[in-house]
Chains A and B, each alone.
Chain A
Amino acid sequence: MVSTFLAHDLLWGMTPQPLPADAPAWVIDSLSLGQPVVVRRAITAPGHIAVGVRGVSREQRYATSMPVAAIQRRVRPEELCHVALRRDVPALQALAQLRPMLDASGWIWGVSGSAGFELASGIEALHARSDLDLILRTPQPLDRIEARDLLAQLDGSTCAVDMQLQTPFGAVALREWAGSARRVLLKDNRQARLVTDPWQPSLEQVA
């Protein structure tokens, strides 16, 4: 098992056992059913990884940590690009539409959020109004003109698409990088900050 886990990776093997006593019942249900958890951007105790548990409704998101030793299986967003699933929801239609363009883009891309969760687990998480969440691995800079072109293509699809650029220093929303703001929000494991260049962040404002 490779020990570098990245935000949006899905992990199996977490049990309700290490949860605090005040954990909501739906969290225990989700884990008892063997559902995967999602890696979060946060620092946690050694030997543990920061994860989120998903519930059925939008508000049901629970932040906790998972012992690395408990991990049985990992699926990364880029492994889900070509998973076929027959379900008539706009997010999956948009995924099918965008797939050839993203495959041809030269970047590694992946599916996260509800769509990623459903593709990886087979558990219905998408509904008619779900956005499509995508990630793009951008070890090298994607300039703001390229970002605008890419966003225009995503915005042409049948549902709202939310793409996060994963730079070596954290994540930035494609929509914001493609816009006109001088500084954009970069999130890493420790903090959120406003930076002018997500590939060369100098410490500016820290949250």
Chain B
Amino acid sequence: MQTLSFEFPAGQPPRGRALVGCVGSGDLEVLIEPGLAGKLTIQVQTSVNGSEQRWQHLFARMFDGQMPPALAIDIHDFGATPGVVRLRLEQGFEEIGHD
């Protein structure tokens, strides 16, 4: 088990919070909460060692060309593929949008 931290420039915090995903192999659990203005912080707890670069690339691609809202994202990963990670994050963003 490894814990990784990432930080990206962001806009203003939203109001809502969201919990999406599932504990189980090949999946992940994502908790999204309002962060401090100007900052998007992500903590990843993963069962897959040595995956820091992969996560960095995935987040950089997702937030490329747009200023994301200020969020504190907490991820518990159980060996999800990048495609599944992306789906879960998008699902979480959608849920805070609905609140």
A-to-B contact residues, CB < 8 Å: 58-59, 61, 113, 133, 162, 164, 173, 175-176, 179, 181, 183, 185, 187, 191-194, 205, 207
Main secondary structure of the interface of B (DSSP, over half): loop
Chain A residues near B43 (CB-CB < 8 A):
none
Q: Nearest-CB distance from A150 to chain B (Å)?
A: 15
Q: Check B24 for interface membership: any CB of A closer than 8 A.
A: yes
Please report the C-alpha to C-alpha distance between residue A183 and residue B83 in the assembled complex, in whole angstroms.
16
Q: Inside 8 A of B26's CB, which chain A residues have their CB?
A: 187
B82's nearest neighbour on chain A, judged by CB, is A207
* Chain A residue nearest in CB terms to B84: A192
Cβ–Cβ contact A207 & B86, under 8 A: yes
B74 at the interface (CB under 8 A from A): no
Of B20, B48, B49, chain A has the most CB atoms within 10 Å of the CB of: B20
Chain B interface residue count, CB cutoff 8 Å, equals 20
How far is the CB of B9 from the nearest CB of chain A, in Å? 26
Chain A residue numbers with a CB within 8 Å of B23 are 162, 175
From B86, which residue of chain A is reached at the shortest CB distance? A207
| B4: Cβ under 8 A from any A Cβ | no
Contact B87 A205 (CB under 8 A): yes
Ordered by A's residue number, 27 sampled pairs between the chains whose C-beta atoms are within 8 Å are A59-B47, A59-B49, A61-B79, A133-B25, A162-B25, A173-B22, A173-B24, A175-B22, A176-B21, A176-B22, A181-B20, A181-B91, A185-B84, A185-B87, A187-B26, A187-B84, A191-B83, A192-B81, A192-B83, A192-B84, A192-B87, A193-B87, A205-B90, A207-B81, A207-B83, A207-B86, A207-B87
Which residue in A58, A59, A164, A194 is a CB contact (below 8 Å) of B91?
A: A194
Residue of A nearest to B26 (CB): A187
In angstroms, Cα B22 to Cα A179, docked, is 9
Q: Is B27 an interface residue (CB 8 A)?
A: yes
Alpha-carbon separation in the docked complex, A194 to B21 (Å)? 11
The residues of B that contact A164 with a CB separation of less than 8 Å are 24
Q: How far is the CA of A191 from the CA of B82 in the complex (A)?
A: 12
CB nearest to A192 among chain B residues: B84
Q: Which of B49-95 contact A (CB under 8 A)?
A: 49, 79, 81, 83-84, 86-88, 90-91
